[in-house]
């Protein structure tokens, strides 16, 4: 298993190319099952989650070829309707293949995704969508076995809570349904817009992407497409928070300001200087005073839960008291105890973390518990005095492409070791 050894105290200065978005890429790859023609995706980050999903698509019958960030996916015929537990358990979002399998072939056996470090990750809302669409399913031996008799019928459905995955799931099922569907309380995350735009370019008829009400008029079939994966807003936010903690100046290239507007406003209030230009954003921190901030995670355009662990690392060295409320996942504070090992002063009270800034974090041996927690510990290690060793770094490689080298190219001192 790999670990990272970080020698803290270095400022970050330099340019960082932002990679393609993991959370846009995964649903867009799954949407390739919606057509028997070729789908080519460009700027695909070769993350372990992407590799896991390629394996699942190949097991279903997709011919996948990845060359120099371009991924071509061609599923001439669905030869296997089963997405197995050993792959789905590695990457929960693979559960979403249930939608195109049902839309295209009418039958699917997909492993229940199971929970993960940040929560139980239930699928009750997905099952409600199937039921409303008259798609029969049973749950046997840890698998959802679903079969539809006849075409999927268009429905009006209101999500009882915001769910990005359920919005993706509904968009794919409804795109090939018989009739018109309306989804209320839909998620507005940029990734929903990216998936919906891909489907539209493939021939789907979708209106209202980015709003809470999406209308989909079902069509007969979807067609071949070539599309570019947009930049990763969570990677962008992670680097912006990192330089706000270490001091220095970085320029994030090929990325998008709008998708992280709220974060940049917060970082400016903590004392960073943010300048945007057409395709890049520069973040500068010229002094070591960090003002505290109170954060509440929520669905887009609120503060993203996927940046909660990272902003907490920044708040551990602010010159005041901050409060972070996690409203999306029930167990997304696994990084807290690891930060406390480094000298952070954090108290947990159910879904709230109260952080009292300290002058200095100290290097320590810590353990990554999940994807975004790994980034939080790296930010803490970058500012800590001395050496920090972060184990179980496979979590990081699920969702951040080459993050350690990108930071080293800006003056950080991070070594990856295999043990």
Q: Which residues bind ligand EPZ (CB under 6 A)?
A: 23, 26, 93, 119, 121-126, 161, 163-166, 191, 305-306, 328-329, 371-372, 399
Active site (annotated) includes residue 25: no
Q: What sign results for the dihedral spanned by CA atoms 325, 263, 230, 409?
A: negative
Q: Which is nearer to ligand EPZ, 251 or 398 (CB)?
A: 398
Measured from each CB, the residue nearest to ligand EPZ is: 165
What residues contact residue 218 under an 8 Å CB cut-off, 6+ apart? 152, 154, 174, 175, 176, 177, 178, 179, 180, 181, 205
Q: Which is nearer to ligand EPZ, 250 or 396 (CB)?
A: 396
Q: Which residue has the tokens 């989650």?
A: 49
Q: Which is nearer to ligand EPZ, 160 or 258 (CB)?
A: 160
Q: Which is nearer to ligand EPZ, 361 or 393 (CB)?
A: 393
* Minimum CB distance to ligand EPZ, residue 403 (Å): 14
Q: Which is nearer to ligand EPZ, 192 or 355 (CB)?
A: 192
Catalytic residue among 25, 116, 166, 188: 116
Distances from the Cα of 203 to the Cα of 34, 223, 290, angstroms: 11, 6, 49
Residues in the chain: 419
CA distance 216 to 153: 12
Report which of 197, 189, 267 is spatially closest to residue 229, judged by C-alpha positions.
197
Contact 137, 108 (CB under 8 A): no
What percent of the residues of the chain are helix, what percent strand, and what percent coil, each to the nearest 5?
A: 35, 30, 35
The SS3 assignment for 135 reads strand
Q: Which is nearer to ligand EPZ, 264 or 400 (CB)?
A: 400
* Minimum CB distance to ligand EPZ, residue 126 (Å): 5
* Minimum CB distance to ligand EPZ, residue 232 (Å): 10
SS (H, E, C) 320-359: CEEEEECCCCCCCCHHHHHHHHCCCEEEEECCEEEEECCC
CA distance 94 to 90: 9
What residues contact residue 231 under an 8 Å CB cut-off, 6+ apart? 18, 19, 20, 21, 254, 255, 256
Known catalytic residues are: 116
């Amino acid at each position: 298993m790999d670990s990272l050894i970080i020698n803290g105290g270095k400022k970050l200065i330099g340019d960082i190319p932002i990679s393609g978005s993991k959370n846009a890429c995964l649903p867009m790859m799954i949407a390739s099952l919606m057509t028997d023609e070729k789908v080519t995706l460009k700027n695909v980050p070769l993350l372990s989650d992407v590799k896991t999903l390629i394996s699942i698509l190949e097991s279903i019958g997709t011919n996948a070829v990845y060359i120099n960030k371009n991924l071509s996916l061609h599923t001439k015929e669905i030869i296997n309707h089963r997405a197995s537990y050993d792959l789905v358990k590695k990457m929960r979002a693979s559960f979403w293949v249930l939608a195109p399998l049902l839309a295209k072939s009418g039958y699917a056996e997909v492993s229940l995704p199971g929970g993960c470090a940040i929560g139980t990750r239930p699928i009750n809302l997905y099952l409600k969508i199937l039921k409303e669409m008259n798609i029969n399913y049973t749950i046997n031996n840890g698998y959802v076995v679903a079969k539809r008799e006849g075409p999927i019928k268009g429905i009006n459905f209101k999500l009882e809570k915001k769910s990005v995955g359920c919005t993706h799931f509904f968009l794919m099922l409804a795109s090939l349904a018989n009739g018109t569907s309306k989804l209320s309380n839909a998620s507005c995350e940029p990734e929903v817009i990216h998936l919906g735009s891909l489907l539209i370019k493939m021939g789907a008829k979708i209106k209202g992407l980015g709003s809470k009400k999406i209308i989909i008029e079902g069509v007969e079939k979807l067609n071949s497409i070539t599309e570019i994966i947009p930049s990763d807003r969570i990677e962008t936010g992670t680097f912006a928070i990192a330089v706000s903690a270490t001091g220095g100046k970085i320029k994030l290239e090929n990325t998008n300001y709008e998708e992280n507007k709220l974060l940049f406003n917060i970082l400016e209030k903590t004392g960073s200087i943010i300048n945007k230009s057409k395709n890049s954003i520069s973040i500068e921190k010229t002094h070591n005073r960090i003002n505290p901030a109170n954060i509440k995670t929520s669905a887009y355009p609120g503060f993203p839960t996927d940046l909660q662990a990272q902003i907490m690392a920044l708040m551990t060295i602010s010159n005041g008291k901050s409060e972070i409320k996690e409203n999306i996942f029930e167990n997304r504070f696994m990084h807290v105890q690891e930060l406390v090992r480094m000298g952070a002063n954090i108290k947990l009270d159910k879904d709230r973390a109260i952080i009292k800034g300290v002058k200095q974090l100290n290097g320590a041996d810590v353990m990554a518990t999940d994807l975004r927690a790994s980034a939080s510990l790296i930010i803490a290690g970058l500012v800590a005095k001395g050496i920090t060793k972060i184990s179980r770094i496979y979590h990081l490689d699920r969702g951040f492409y080459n993050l350690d080298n990108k930071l080293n190219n800006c003056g950080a001192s991070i070594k990856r070791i295999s043990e």
